[in-house]
Amino acid sequence: MKNKLVLILILGILVTSLSGCSEKTATATDQAELWQTVSDAYVYCLPLVLVNATKETMTNTVVPSHTRAPVNQLIHAKGLATAASKDIVTPNVDTVYSQSFLDLEDTPMVYVKPQTDRFCSVEVMDAYTNAVAILGSGGDTQAQQTYLITGPNYQGSVPDNMKQVAMPTNLAWMLIRVVCNGDTDLENVYAIQNQMQLIPLAAYQSGQPYTPPAGTVNPDHDFVPITHVQAMTPQEFFDTANRLMISNPPTAADEPVLKALSSINVGPGASFDATILGDQAAAQWETMVANCSSKLAPDCAQFLASLGSWSYFGEPIAEFGTEYKFRALIAINGIAANPAAVAIYPKAYQDSDGETLSGSNAYTIHFDKDALPPTEPNGFWSITAYGSDNLLIDNPLNRYCINDRSGFVLNEDGSLDILVQSSQPEAARQSNWLPVGSDDFHLFMRIYLPQDAVLAGHWPAPTIKKAI
């Protein structure tokens, strides 16, 4: 009898212990599943929150300037980027930008795109960074075009002389790129900018002169958008996302992911409660945010296209659909990208032998005869060098790229060699020199309006060879 009692006690202890283990395992599993949902919610909402933060800082002004303008007004950049330009990374030295953040909730906006003699492309993005429309292919020189940009709730008619751009969100971002052929061409670009119009429909139809309202300044909105968003607490981030999704509704295709996110109260008008994340939430959230880009990269490798030593993100870039991880990765690393049919941005960190590009070496970028980047009419290409800080490299010529408008000299056989090095070559070869510094660097090749041969991978991309 005594032995039976001992056996019963032992079995009871074992059952209790196993039950405790199961409970702990279940709790750990629940926490892992919870944070996976939080991560999925962060990835889904990030572009929306980042676009809104970008709007807040770029509209934080009373009157328009070359860097900011109130909502529904145009910002016209002046000049091309130089080594002194520190505001954005990997700045483009091919085009001059105009842009505007639109609020379409109360009024549709009329945009007048002037006739041009050059590449002039207007990308209209929704609040989630999808390119809903490209106004003008960039390669056409047709007569002036007038567009009516409407929000999701617009019920009015479209005037006969206008083309409608129906946006699925009330927050929209217009980004206008006009190619510039160097500093001496800037006045021609400014003339194009001055002919652009952005006016509320009622004011446009009145025929009367329109004076846009003054904006406001909020000192709290003077921030770097990505830094500001990454510093948000979970409560701040999801409160912002839930509010924004009311006027910027997710699409029908998003319903499955929204159903999953509803378990933590993330969705249009939902009330997120950060206490569900537990006592250690702050540290875990910071780690998740800091590692987001590196975690997303492997899952997005399928969208990388290779061109020899060069690689770029191809379709469905800027037209993401339900590829939420890809959408978030691009938002973090290069928000407001073009669709691949408009432009691709192959980059190279290594030479053709797989070694890291370094200013301690000299390189030759070699294009075979008749193998310069093929583009559609009014398309163009360039190769730009950036330091490890992703900024332009200071040099005595103030030359930051070689492009199809540069005065380079072809070889006798019709091929092209671009010299990439820190030291100045002999005078006869200086027109082909792309200066770099003494440190590591990388290259971006921009191809606007690439022909199908490029997108299909049939074009022989240039090699990058270390000079002997």
Q: How far apart are CA 327 and CA 128, in angstroms?
A: 8
Q: How far apart are CA 330 and CA 313, in angstroms?
A: 9
Answer yes or no: is pLDDT of 41 > 60.
Answer: yes
Higher pLDDT, 7 or 98: 98
Q: For residue 359, give the nearest of 434, 427, 426, 444 by alpha carbon.
A: 434
Q: What is the pLDDT of residue 334?
A: 86
- Please give the average per-residue pLDDT across 62-75, as a whole number: 97
Answer yes or no: is pLDDT of 367 > 80.
Answer: yes
- pLDDT per residue as tens digits for the range 103-113: 999 999 999 99
- pLDDT per residue as tens digits for the range 129-183: 999 999 986 666 667 899 999 999 999 999 999 999 999 999 999 999 999 998 8
- pLDDT per residue as tens digits for the range 423-465: 999 988 999 999 999 999 999 999 999 999 999 999 999 999 9
Q: What is the pLDDT of residue 332?
A: 93
CA dihedral 93, 290, 388, 447 (to 10 degrees): -40
Q: What is the pLDDT of residue 31?
A: 87
Q: How far apart are CA 94 and CA 41, in angstroms?
A: 37
Q: 3-class DSSP state for residue 123?
A: strand
Domains of the chain (ranges; CATH) run: 32-44+224-290 (no CATH), 75-217 (2.60.40.1610), 325-466 (2.60.120.600)
Q: What is the overall mean pLDDT for the chain?
A: 92
Query: Running DSSP on this structure, what letter comes out for residue 152?
Result: T
Which stretch of 69-73, 133-137, 289-293, 328-332 has the lowest confidence by average pLDDT?
Answer: 133-137
Cβ atoms of 459 and 371 within 8 Å: the answer is yes
Q: What is the pLDDT of residue 142?
A: 64
Q: What is the pLDDT of residue 10?
A: 40
Q: Torsions phi, psi of 122, nearest 5?
A: -115, 110
Residue 78 pLDDT level (bands cut at 50, 70, 90):
very high
Answer yes or no: is pLDDT of 25 > 60.
Answer: no
Q: What is the pLDDT of residue 211?
A: 96
Q: How many CB atoms lie within 10 A of CB 4?
A: 8
- Please give the average per-residue pLDDT across 6-27, as a whole number: 45
Whole-structure pTM value: 0.90
Strands 197-200 and 401-403: unpaired
Higher pLDDT, 190 or 390: 190
Report the percentage of the chain scoring pLDDT > 90.
Answer: 85
Sign of the C-alpha dihedral computed for residues 301, 401, 397 and 413 taken in this order: positive
- pLDDT per residue as tens digits for the range 328-341: 999 998 899 999 99
Q: What is the pLDDT of residue 147?
A: 97
Q: How far apart are CA 35 and CA 263, in angstroms?
A: 12
